[in-house]
């Protein structure tokens, strides 16, 4: 993009949209101005002048003076339609919609190639942590072995409140909602879908592998109870919801599961709405990124960073796609897990390779053993709210 000044057309003015407006007004180094904001409900009170707003998408998409379309809405199909139309119209696009991007990555990649326009989405993965830019630039030729970590600020906030302040799950969730970290319907966060979408995106930039979200197994924290928390504390552990993608023997696996984390692990001290990402590579061993993973200004700052990058003609090059060693995706992986349940008929123990520990009481039972990720992905018994799963560290 040759222009020194750019005009923005924004779709959505919720938490992230308002966060972007705030950081854009506070920074002095970027010559970008908001020309128009498209919203769905014109009757809703807004904190800025109503002259900014429209309800017609074409006021942005067909305006030749708007250089960059910023997509910040929650509706997946509508978001894809906005982004694809803008790219076809030759406009650069910045987005924070992790679900829309994860579900449409091959099509979005193709649209960028065909229309020769950039599409940036740093804010979709870990809010304030510049993980995509680092995978694209710093690790473009490094032999990455793994990308894993806490990439959902809402669940990390809830787990922090449970372990550090002894709050109940329900109270911690309510606090997360009150602070704007969790949605009114928190399903995508607490069931692990949100971090799964992020892992799908990171898989592409880390390894060059396209994977459909439905092929990546996610299990969240909604089944967690006091017995599990006590189990973790007795082993001097905390519980974190971890998203992982790891290369092994020409394949790559990925999943989102709650883990028991010991103090030596760098993720142990990632608290509240913060995210933490660990990279493992052949040349640099382990490197660790930490930053705010939820909140309007944290995500807005990542959106603003992408807008700034466009001023310097930046675009993703997807170098890993062009390399010849992309690993194929698999769920054939053995995991050591803790499974808690109430009655013997609730869990099929024959699906375990081995069981190293077993406990029974009138109220609860648990086993510690090894099971294949493929088996977990298809296990009907994990849908039972009285059954919980935690992955043990290697």
Tell me the catalytic residues: 198
Nearest 10 degrees: CA dihedral of 208, 210, 214, 219? 10
Please list, residue by residue across 231-246, b when 16 or more beta carbons sit within 10 angstroms of its beta carbon and e when fewer do.
bbeeeebbbbbbbbbb
Checking 79-88 for CB contacts under 8 A at 24+ apart, the result is 79/11, 80/104, 80/107, 82/11, 82/57, 83/108, 83/111, 83/119, 84/108, 84/111, 85/57, 85/61, 86/61, 87/111, 87/112, 87/115, 87/117, 87/119, 88/115
3-state secondary structure of 153: helix
3-state secondary structure of 286: strand
Q: Where are the beta strands (DSSP E) in 298-351?
A: 328-329, 334-341
Among 230, 196, 216, 262, smallest CA distance to 340 is for 230
Residue with tokens 């900014």: 52
Distance set, CA 221 to CA 78, 155, 257, 274 (Å): 29, 8, 8, 17
Residue 355 near residue 336, CB atoms below 8 Å = no
Distance set, CA 39 to CA 52, 86, 88 (Å): 10, 17, 22
Q: What region, left, alpha or beta, does residue 376 occupy, with left being phi > 0 and alpha being psi -120 to 50 degrees?
A: alpha
Strands 68-71 and 274-281: unpaired
Residue with tokens 């040759």: 2
Report the distance separating Cα 342 and Cα 206, nearest Å: 40
Beta bridge partners of 253: 246
């Amino acid at each position: 993009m040759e222009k020194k000044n750019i005009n923005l057309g924004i779709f959505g003015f919720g938490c992230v949209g308002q966060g972007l407006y705030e950081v854009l007004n506070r920074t002095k180094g970027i010559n970008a101005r908001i020309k128009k904001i498209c919203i769905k409900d014109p009757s809703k009170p807004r904190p800025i002048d109503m002259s900014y707003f429209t309800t017609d998408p074409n006021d942005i998409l067909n305006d030749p003076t708007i250089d960059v379309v910023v997509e910040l809405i929650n509706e997946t199909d509508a978001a894809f339609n906005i982004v694809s139309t803008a790219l076809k119209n030759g406009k650069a696009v910045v987005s924070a919609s992790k679900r829309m991007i994860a579900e449409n990555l091959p099509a979005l990649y193709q649209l960028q190639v065909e229309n020769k326009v950039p599409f940036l989405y740093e804010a979709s993965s870990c809010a304030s942590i510049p993980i995509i830019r680092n995978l694209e630039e710093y690790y473009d030729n490094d032999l990455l072995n793994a990308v894993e970590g806490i990439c959902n600020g809402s669940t990390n906030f809830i787990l922090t409140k449970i372990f550090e302040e002894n709050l109940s799950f329900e109270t911690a969730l309510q606090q997360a909602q009150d602070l704007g970290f969790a949605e009114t319907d928190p399903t995508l966060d607490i069931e692990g879908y949100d971090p799964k979408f992020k892992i799908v995106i990171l898989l592409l930039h880390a390894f060059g592998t396209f994977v459909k979200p439905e092929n990546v197994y996610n299990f969240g924290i909604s089944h967690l109870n006091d017995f599990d928390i006590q189990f973790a504390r007795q082993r001097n552990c905390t519980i974190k919801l971890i998203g992982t993608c790891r290369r092994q023997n020409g394949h790559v696996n990925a999943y989102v599961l709650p883990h028991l984390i010991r103090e030596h692990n760098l993720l142990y001290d990632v608290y509240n709405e913060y995210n933490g990402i660990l990279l493992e590579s052949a040349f640099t061993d382990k490197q660790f990124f930490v930053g705010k993973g939820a909140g309007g200004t944290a995500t807005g700052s990542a959106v603003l960073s992408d807008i700034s990058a466009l001023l310097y003609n930046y675009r993703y090059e997807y170098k890993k796609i062009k390399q010849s060693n992309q690993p194929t995706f698999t769920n054939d992986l053995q995991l050591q897990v803790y499974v808690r349940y109430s009655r013997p008929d609730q869990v099929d123990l024959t699906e375990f390779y081995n069981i190293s520990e077993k406990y029974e009481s009138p109220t609860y039972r648990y086993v510690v053993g090894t099971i294949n990720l493929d088996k977990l992905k298809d296990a009907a018994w994990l849908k039972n709210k009285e059954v919980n799963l935690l992955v043990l560290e290697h």
